[in-house]
Copies of this chain bind each other. A is one copy, B any other.
Amino acid sequence: MLNFVNDYAEGAHEAVLKRLIETNREALPGYGMDPYCKSAGQKIKKACQCEDADVYFLVGGTQTNQVVIASVLNAFEGVVTAQSGHINVHEAGAIESTGHKVLELPQEDGKLSAEVLKEYLDTFYGDENRDHMVFPGMVYISHPTEYGTLYTKSELKKLSSVCRSYDIPLYLDGARLGYGLACRDTDLTLPDIAKYCDVFYIGGTKVGALCGEAVVFTKNNTPKQFVTLMKQHGALLAKGWLLGIQFDALFTNDLYVKIAKHALNMADRLKEAFKEKGYVFYLESPTNQIFLVLEDWKLAWLQEYVNFSFWEKQDDTHTVIRLATSWATTEESVSELISIL
């Protein structure tokens, strides 16, 4: 069986694993106070070209979203998101469980536009009943989005500008950030993200780490007692260096982007092959995700050879599926899939 089901099916990139093995017997301070977390933080700050950044390491994406959002919001505030945002759909109510509403706005290909956001904020602040409503206290976007689409630099700049005009922090969920940054056709860099966002996270779990996400507060704006809040959420790893060592490896010699590039190359080969064979794309994702519309008999045939994700039913006879490549996808498996097609 070929595996294109997702980008978190295998362990860690070998260069990451190697560092874990090498450091296994070092006795290190707990809870992120070790030199590897420090070094990884420095490397990330440098990659972000952001002197005012504070970096923290958490274990997984939902946890990161929950801790960051709950720590930034006031009790009377909620978080604004595109309807399709991961926090709104597939995190089992993690945000609401901390007491905060997820304020959903319409999405376009998974993205939240500055115009939609501005109209919502203008309306909210023009509403004389707003004291009886949930205040927007943060804007959440994901990049790449849940549909594998990307914000352009101009789009992010505009979103950021709307947020700042209302003094609302902008948060970017980068669970798959590497696959966005490494794209051929993106003009959005890590320093751009650090500049336009108030906080974001660099995903490790899906880009070469065993686990781990690096949160970056970009304006010396870490919430008070953030470490205590992490602990309170059960998100402060005793062996915090487990995350520090991995990110230190990922941000050494550009490994993070390199392994993402590999995944994109694999995806490009597949996309080309699907195009040649006349497959219908559900949407054009420039990242490591491929969304196809299949007739159901073809779906049945394909799943005998390949593991992929069911995305949604399109109509009575068609289904949307998703294939994903990753740092772990091999040339051989791509070639084999192409030969099957």
Point out residues on A near B: beta carbons under 8 Å: 3, 5-6, 8-12, 14, 17, 20-21, 23-30, 59-67, 70-71, 74-76, 78, 89-94, 96-102, 104, 128-129, 131-135, 205-206, 210-211, 224-225, 227-229, 231-239, 242, 307, 310, 328
Contacts and interface: CB of A to CB of B under 8 A. Distances in A.
Contact of A94 (B23, B92, B233): B233
A330 to B, nearest CB: 9
A67 B63 CA distance: 13
A234 B94 contact: yes
Contacts of A30: 6, 8-9
Given A132-B92, A205-B239, A75 B21 contact: no
Given A10-B27, A63-B234, A227-B131, A93 B102 contact: no
Given A96-B100, A134-B96, A239 B11 contact: yes
Determine the main DSSP class of A at the interface with B.
loop
Contacts of A310: 128
18 contacts: A8-B239, A9-B29, A10-B26, A11-B25, A14-B24, A17-B24, A21-B21, A60-B237, A63-B234, A65-B234, A67-B234, A75-B232, A76-B225, A89-B133, A94-B231, A96-B96, A132-B231, A135-B228
Nearest to A232: B92
B239 A210 contact: yes
Given A11-B242, A239-B211, A62 B234 contact: yes
Interface centre among A11, A70, A227, A229 (most CB of B within 10 A): A11
A205 B133 contact: no
Contacts of A211: 237-239, 242
Contacts of A206: 238
A7 to B, nearest CB: 10
A307 B27 CA distance: 10
A231 B135 CA distance: 13
A62 to B, nearest CB: 5
A94 B134 CA distance: 9
B12 A24 contact: yes
Nearest to A130: B228
Given A9-B27, A104-B104, A233-B234, 6 more contacts: A63-B235, A94-B233, A97-B98, A98-B99, A131-B227, A205-B238
Contacts of A74: 224-225
A233 B97 contact: yes
A224 B92 contact: no
Instruction: List the 9 shortest-distance A-B pairs measured between CB atoms, nearest first.
Output: A63-B234, A11-B24, A3-B27, A92-B231, A92-B232, A93-B134, A9-B27, A96-B101, A76-B228
Contacts of A76: 92-93, 224-225, 228-229, 232
